[in-house]
């Protein structure tokens, strides 16, 4: 039964398919189960997993004890005194307790796999933070393993090392040669022992650590007994000595005077480093004994039930070590002379019932801590390799044995620990190890804090003894400790982590773990959208919020990138209408297309949203998008359409001149897999019969103008973009760059004005384009069309004053257009005669009352549609006049502009004249190059402060 429990737990936590069904029937075929579960069932020889005591409690206890409990307790009390020592212990355990609460919360929020703290952080904060901190945690464990090996070597040489020349030695056990290379040899041999244990697997590691745990507990027991059983004695102090220093100190036993002398702080020079001790330096040493709380979490992949074992085992170990440290500090302060504590860090050995007990405890705990860090580093590296955050670089670390032990990761970790051993000095790496661990602890607190603040419904940890306050306190405590220990190392480690974060952000593939940043952004955006009150909108803070309708992105790359420049940090939505009826379709055909559109947005490096809709016509689809796009105060106020003409579209996604510079090179016969958009009309022989998907036009001229009229009725500004199919942004921005603005209604020369809403909107958009970083070098050219009867200088002066009031810079060019206006007035006379004939015909038709009644009954809707119609200027414009105005724009004696802005008149009220209106726009803008015809309906500019 015990052997089936891990498999049962795994099935319950990992075999839930996307529909929420559990594949837990005993007789189900492995092919019907998830691949991970099938692999588990194919290896029935896997050893049983570790329990809470063997997998969490023992590794955490031994990692937290290490050598501090035996060699630094007296140092802390001797320098700080009892009061400050207890205060330091309280602060240190307060910091790690806050982190332990976060660890417990995250570990009980779902199935936990191999990787420990890395797995928690990566699944909570995303691959960037997870990968960067995982690497740092890996290096921290590597350096930590080397640290404990070097500490064990120093302890061995202190007992068995041959004394230096000229120094008397009465010990017969000093047989080991000393020196850098000898120390490296001893460290290598000890590391090989750790390697063998870790290669065998987690079970032998657990058995080895259990034996070490029994030894350490026994030694601790002898220490506690020694305080009561050993009589007061004089202890010889290790040299060197000065004239003012004594060679002996007293173990007084329990005396009130001894306790009183040890209450206050008395900082002196550390006899091992010859540096003056302070509160910060002593605190850093003492806090190093409180790290190691992640030792049990690192074994998460080898535990029977990680979500159960990690919180209970870690809290148990923390409470136990706190009690041990607290008792030792009090007993030392009551029984040991101050000089003994300051001058002999191994005094526990000298006052023990049997001196070798403490030596055995030091060796055992240090060896265990080294193995714990080595196996923890290998598990973290294996998890990093399995997640493919660094591509093929870590692929060798994925290899495992038949029992699931990641032997390749163990070997790589061992090799790196061996390299660190060449540093040769424990103090060289001690500070950076502690700072790395603190940074990881702070990241765990940050992960828990982010999950709590995001208010994600799926964040439901069974461990509830935490709040966001505990997370913040843990983060602040870890940060303070990092800079207290060594501000240079702390700053360097943070910079290193940020560099790793950026590298992973730009190089690693998108993961399926979920990004906490998205949850936090959603939480904040929702809050601020509710605060964005449309009733408080002001013209001073107006910005374009654009809905760009895209029929096929293959032919619209130039327009999409241009509109991205003109949005001025406003809302930008790419809209698309798919013709169809959901009632007769098996599913929504648009859901599978969002990935391609979002990939297009990423490829073009634009800041835009995507909104697709299904409708029975393009007109109704655009209406849907204008009604529903955006939220609250962030709704489109400007509709941009491509121009309705017969120009053959060009596939800009396949044209290399339009590809992004950082896009991977593709062969000529290779299609980019990201863009699964239909072919352009005219690119396939059967396109005329393929409807809206990829065939000929599905939009009639009448419906096209109806879309413009609908947008104007909805008080949306409208822009028509022509000749942007060949617009190349890089080529257009080559110096010199000009932007031409014609803010007069060229279809109504008899009522032209430079100060109406539409012309001001035209000027505002041109100014916004000029404010964009890429277009800042562009020069605005404003063309002032005047007749001979008007004062040229007076009109130009008024326009200059207007630009000054509007804080706009533009070169004004006056353009006489008497010849073009003459053609317009010539057509006017013909138009009057035509209208007179029309009125006469209407009077004759009015005499037939019965026929009129019949028409009203048969066509009531059509009569209502034209009830408010009036004679439009569109019928009075000849093609000659439009050709003349078109030539007037083209024949200006200046360099051709990158883009032109023209005034777009309002569509006529009579819908029967829509085709004529579109024809006039086509003649007006023919051969002008990239041109925006713009109609504004709302005030967008002010001269007020």
CATH code (residue 260):
1.20.1740.10
pLDDT exceeds 50 at position 263? yes
**pLDDT tier, 943 (very low <50, low <70, confident <90, very high otherwise):** low
Q: Residue 836: its pLDDT value, please?
A: 53
pLDDT exceeds 60 at position 690? no
Whether residue 706 is contained in a domain is answered as no
**pLDDT tier, 62 (very low <50, low <70, confident <90, very high otherwise):** confident
Whether residue 266 is contained in a domain is answered as yes
CB 361 within 8 A of CB 284: no
pLDDT exceeds 90 at position 922? yes
Q: Residue 874: its pLDDT value, please?
A: 54
Helix runs in 54-179, H state only: 58-65, 68-71, 73-107, 117-125, 127-160
User: Which of 507, 541, 564 is the C-terminal boundary of a domain?
Assistant: 507
Mean pLDDT for the stretch of residues 239-262: 78
Q: Residue 702: its pLDDT value, please?
A: 93
CATH number of the domain bearing residue 759: 3.40.50.620
**pLDDT tier, 837 (very low <50, low <70, confident <90, very high otherwise):** low
Q: Is 62 helix (H, G, I), strand (E, B) or coil?
A: helix
Q: Residue 150: its pLDDT value, please?
A: 84
pLDDT exceeds 50 at position 322? yes
Whether residue 209 is contained in a domain is answered as yes
Q: What are phi and psi of 817, to 5 degrees?
A: -135, 45
Pairing of strands 233-236, 248-251: antiparallel
pLDDT exceeds 50 at position 11? no
Q: Is 273 helix (H, G, I), strand (E, B) or coil?
A: coil
Mean pLDDT for the stretch of residues 255-266: 91
Mean pLDDT for the stretch of residues 724-752: 83
Dihedral of alpha carbons 653, 655, 657, 659, sign: positive
pLDDT exceeds 80 at position 356? yes
Provide the domain limits for residue 930.
Answer: 728-829+874-944
Q: What are phi and psi of 786, to 5 degrees?
A: -135, 155
Mean pLDDT for the stretch of residues 566-578: 89
Q: What is the residue-averaged pLDDT of the chain?
A: 78
- Higher-pLDDT residue of 707, 680: 707
Q: Is 577 helix (H, G, I), strand (E, B) or coil?
A: strand
**pLDDT tier, 753 (very low <50, low <70, confident <90, very high otherwise):** low
What does the pLDDT look like over 576-611, one tens digit per residue?
Answer: 999 998 889 898 888 888 888 988 888 888 999 999
- DSSP states of 651-667: -TTTSGGGS-TTSPP--
User: Which of 448, 482, 507 is the C-terminal boundary of a domain?
Assistant: 507
**pLDDT tier, 5 (very low <50, low <70, confident <90, very high otherwise):** very low
Whether residue 420 is contained in a domain is answered as yes
Q: Residue 931: its pLDDT value, please?
A: 94
- Cα dihedral 843, 846, 851, 855, rounded to 10, equals 90
Nearest residue to 44 via CA among 399, 305, 301, 403? 403
Whether residue 834 is contained in a domain is answered as no
pLDDT exceeds 60 at position 722? yes
3-state secondary structure 300-349: HHHECCHHHHHHHHHHHHHHHHHHHHHHHHHHHHHHECHHHHHHCCCHHH
Q: Is 937 helix (H, G, I), strand (E, B) or coil?
A: coil
pLDDT exceeds 50 at position 12? no
**pLDDT tier, 130 (very low <50, low <70, confident <90, very high otherwise):** confident
Question: Residue 720 gets which letter from DSSP?
Answer: E
Which of 130-144, 379-393, 422-436, 614-628 is predicted least confidently? Answer: 422-436
The number of folded domains in the chain is 2
Whether residue 280 is contained in a domain is answered as yes
Whether residue 709 is contained in a domain is answered as no
Which of 116-130, 700-714, 720-734 is predicted least confidently? Answer: 116-130
What is the distance in angstroms between the CA of the first residue and the CA of the last residue of the chain?
79
Nearest residue to 14 via CA among 689, 889, 6? 6
- Higher-pLDDT residue of 77, 656: 77
Tell me which range, 20-34, 192-206, 492-506, 914-928, is most confidently predicted by mean pLDDT.
914-928
Q: Residue 241: its pLDDT value, please?
A: 55
Angle, CA of 609, 450 and 431, to the nearest 5°: 125
Helices 618-628 + 701-713 axis angle, to 10: 20
Q: Residue 751: its pLDDT value, please?
A: 62
Which of 1-5, 501-505, 704-708, 801-805 is predicted least confidently? Answer: 1-5
Beta-bridge partners for 813 = 783
- Counting residues of the chain whose pLDDT is more than 90, the rounded percentage is 22
CB 123 within 8 A of CB 515: no
N residues, the chain: 945
Which of 461-465, 678-682, 716-720, 879-883 is predicted least confidently? Answer: 678-682
Which of 7-16, 310-319, 726-735, 868-877 is predicted least confidently? Answer: 7-16
Q: Residue 803: its pLDDT value, please?
A: 83
Helix (H) or strand (E) holding 839: helix 818-846
Q: pTM surpassing 0.85?
A: no
**pLDDT tier, 8 (very low <50, low <70, confident <90, very high otherwise):** very low
Helix (H) or strand (E) holding 816: strand 811-816
CB 368 within 8 A of CB 202: no
Tell me which range, 146-160, 521-535, 906-920, is most confidently predicted by mean pLDDT.
906-920
User: Which of 507, 536, 552 is the C-terminal boundary of a domain?
Assistant: 507
Pairing of strands 931-935, 717-722: antiparallel
Whether residue 329 is contained in a domain is answered as yes
- DSSP states of 406-442: -HHHHHHHHHHHHHHHTT--HHHHHHHHHHHHHHHHH
Mean pLDDT for the stretch of residues 442-461: 81
């Amino acid at each position: 039964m015990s052997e089936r429990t891990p498999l049962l737990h795994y099935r319950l936590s990992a075999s839930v398919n996307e529909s929420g069904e559990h594949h837990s029937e005993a007789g189900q075929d492995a092919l019907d189960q998830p691949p991970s579960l099938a692999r588990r069932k194919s290896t029935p020889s896997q050893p049983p997993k570790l329990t809470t005591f063997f997998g969490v409690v023992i590794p955490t206890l031994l990692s937290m004890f290490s050598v501090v409990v035996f060699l630094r307790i007296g140092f802390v009390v001797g320098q700080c005194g009892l009061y400050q020592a207890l205060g330091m212990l309280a602060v240190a355990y307060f910091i790690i307790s806050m982190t332990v609460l976060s660890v417990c919360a995250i570990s009980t929020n779902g199935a936990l796999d191999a990787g420990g703290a890395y797995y928690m952080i990566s699944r909570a904060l995303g691959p960037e933070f997870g990968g960067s901190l995982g690497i740092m945690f890996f290096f921290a464990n590597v350096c930590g393993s080397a640290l404990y090996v070097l500490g064990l070597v120093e302890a061995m040489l202190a007992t068995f090392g041959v004394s230096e020349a000229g120094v008397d030695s009465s010990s017969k056990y000093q047989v080991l040669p000393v020196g850098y290379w000898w120390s490296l040899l001893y460290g290598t041999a000890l590391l090989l022992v750790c390697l063998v244990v870790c290669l065998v697997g987690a079970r032998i590691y657990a058995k080895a650590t259990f034996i070490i745990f029994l030894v350490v507990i026994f030694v601790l027991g002898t220490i506690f007994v020694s305080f009561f059983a050993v009589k007061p004695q004089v202890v010889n102090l290790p040299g060197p000595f000065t004239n003012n220093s004594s060679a002996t100190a007293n173990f007084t036993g329990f005396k009130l005077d001894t306790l009183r002398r040890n209450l206050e702080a008395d900082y002196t020079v550390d006899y091992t480093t010859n540096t003056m001790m302070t509160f910060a330096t002593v605190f850093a040493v003492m806090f190093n004994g409180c790290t190691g709380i992640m030792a049990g979490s690192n074994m998460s992949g080898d535990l029977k039930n990680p979500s159960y074992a990690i919180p209970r085992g870690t809290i148990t170990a923390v409470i136990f070590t706190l009690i041990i440290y607290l008792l030792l500090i009090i007993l030392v302060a009551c029984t040991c002379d101050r000089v003994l504590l300051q001058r002999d860090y191994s005094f526990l050995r000298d006052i023990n019932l049997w001196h070798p007990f403490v030596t055995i405890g030091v060796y055992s705990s240090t060896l265990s801590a080294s193995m714990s860090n080595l196996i923890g580093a290998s598990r973290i590296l294996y998890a990093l390799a399995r997640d493919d955050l660094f591509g093929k670089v870590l692929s060798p670390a994925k290899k495992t044995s038949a029992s699931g032990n990641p032997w390749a990761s163990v070997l790589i970790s061992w090799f790196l620990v061996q390299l660190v051993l060449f540093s040769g000095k424990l103090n060289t790496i001690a500070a950076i190890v502690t700072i790395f661990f603190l940074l990881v602890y702070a990241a765990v607190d940050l992960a828990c804090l982010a999950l709590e603040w995001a208010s994600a419904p799926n964040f439901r940890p069974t461990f509830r003894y935490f709040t966001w306050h505990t997370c913040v306190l843990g983060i602040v405590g870890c940060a303070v400790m990092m800079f207290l220990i060594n501000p240079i190392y702390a700053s360097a480690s943070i910079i290193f982590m940020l560099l790793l974060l950026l590298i992973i952000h730009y190089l690693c593939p998108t993961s399926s773990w979920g990004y906490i940043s998205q949850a936090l952004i959603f939480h904040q955006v929702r809050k601020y959208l509710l605060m964005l009150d449309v009733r408080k909108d002001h013209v001073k803070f107006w910005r374009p919020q654009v809905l760009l309708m895209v029929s096929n992105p293959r032919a619209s790359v130039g327009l999409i990138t241009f509109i991205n420049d003109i949005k001025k940090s406003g809302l930008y939505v790419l809209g698309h209408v798919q013709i169809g009826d959901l009632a007769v379709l098996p599913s929504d055909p648009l859901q599978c297309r969002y990935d391609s559109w979002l990939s297009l947005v990423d490829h073009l490096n634009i800041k835009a949203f995507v909104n697709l809709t299904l409708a029975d016509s393009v007109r109704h689809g655009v209406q849907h998008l204008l009604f529903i796009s955006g939220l609250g105060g962030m709704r489109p106020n400007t509709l941009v359409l491509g121009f309705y003409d017969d120009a053959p579209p060009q596939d800009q996604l396949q044209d290399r001149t339009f590809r992004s510079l950082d896009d991977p090179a593709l062969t000529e016969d290779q299609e980019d897999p990201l863009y699964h958009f239909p072919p352009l009309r005219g690119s396939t022989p059967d396109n005329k019969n393929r409807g809206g998907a990829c065939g000929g036009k599905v939009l009639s001229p009448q419906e096209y103008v109806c879309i413009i009229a609908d947008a104007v009725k909805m008080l949306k500004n409208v822009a028509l973009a022509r000749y942007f199919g060949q617009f190349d942004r890089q080529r257009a921005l080559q110096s010199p760059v000009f932007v031409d603005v014609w803010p007069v209604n060229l279809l109504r020369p008899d009522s032209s004005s430079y100060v109406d809403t539409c012309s001001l909107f035209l000027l505002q958009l041109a100014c916004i384009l000029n404010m964009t970083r890429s277009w800042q070098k562009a020069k605005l050219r404003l063309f002032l069309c005047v007749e001979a009867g008007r004062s040229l200088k007076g009109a130009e002066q008024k326009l200059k004053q207007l630009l000054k009031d509007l804080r706009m810079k533009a070169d004004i060019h006056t353009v006489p257009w008497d010849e073009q206006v003459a053609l317009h007035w010539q057509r006017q006379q013909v138009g009057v005669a035509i209208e007179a004939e029309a009125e006469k015909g209407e009077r004759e038709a009015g005499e037939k009352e019965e026929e009129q009644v019949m028409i009203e009954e048969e066509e009531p809707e059509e009569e209502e549609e034209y009830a408010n119609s009036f004679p439009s200027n569109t019928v009075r414009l000849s093609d000659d006049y439009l050709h003349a105005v078109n030539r007037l724009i083209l024949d200006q004696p200046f360099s051709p502009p990158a883009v032109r802005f023209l005034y777009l008149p309002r569509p006529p009220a009579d819908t029967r004249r829509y085709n004529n209106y579109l024809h006039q726009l086509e003649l007006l803008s023919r051969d002008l190059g990239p041109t925006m015809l713009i109609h504004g309906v709302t005030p967008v500019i002010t001269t007020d402060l």
